Amino acid sequence: MYHYRTGQKKDLAQVIELTICWTEEDITLGYENMAWTPEKLEKKLNDYFYVVELQDFIVGYAFGEIRRGNAEPVIPQTDAYLELHEVYIHPEHRRKGIGRELVQCLLDQAQQHQVERALVASSNRSWKDTAAFYEELGFQMWYIQMYR
């Protein structure tokens, strides 16, 4: 049975293993440049850093932070919002609702602090699937950014 909880310093080694797996999958443009270290990742530990475990092994994680401003015109400058930074589930555990539950954990945590709005951006190569995933959670498309 999967167990969802806030991340702790002791989890970082396993989370870094997942980031390596993510990089090796090559599913996200530019993710290879993240090069997470325990020190860098420890700075992200907060109330909006969740892990999911199965028998003491972390099989997924998600983190974000509460921000204010920089989201106009969809969120007023004065309103706080949750910005989701990373959501990753090990390939062997996908399509089981784990990612959805992890994101919901962060959204619920934000709501407990009276933060009702949220933003997410993605550079996933399967962006249509990613958009559909977040739309199922109530997110709406704001804009598309492209490069060449």
More confident residue, 106 or 74: 106
Q: How many alpha carbons lie under 13 Å from residue 16 in its C-beta half-sphere?
A: 14
Q: Which fold has domain 3-136?
A: Aminopeptidase (3.40.630)
pLDDT per residue over 11-49, tens digit each?
999 999 999 999 999 888 887 777 889 999 999 999 999
pLDDT digits (tens, 9 = 90+) for 60-85: 999 999 999 877 788 988 999 999 99
Q: Where are the domains of the chain?
A: 3-136
Average pLDDT value for the chain: 94
Residue 10 sits at φ, ψ, to 5 deg, of -65, -15
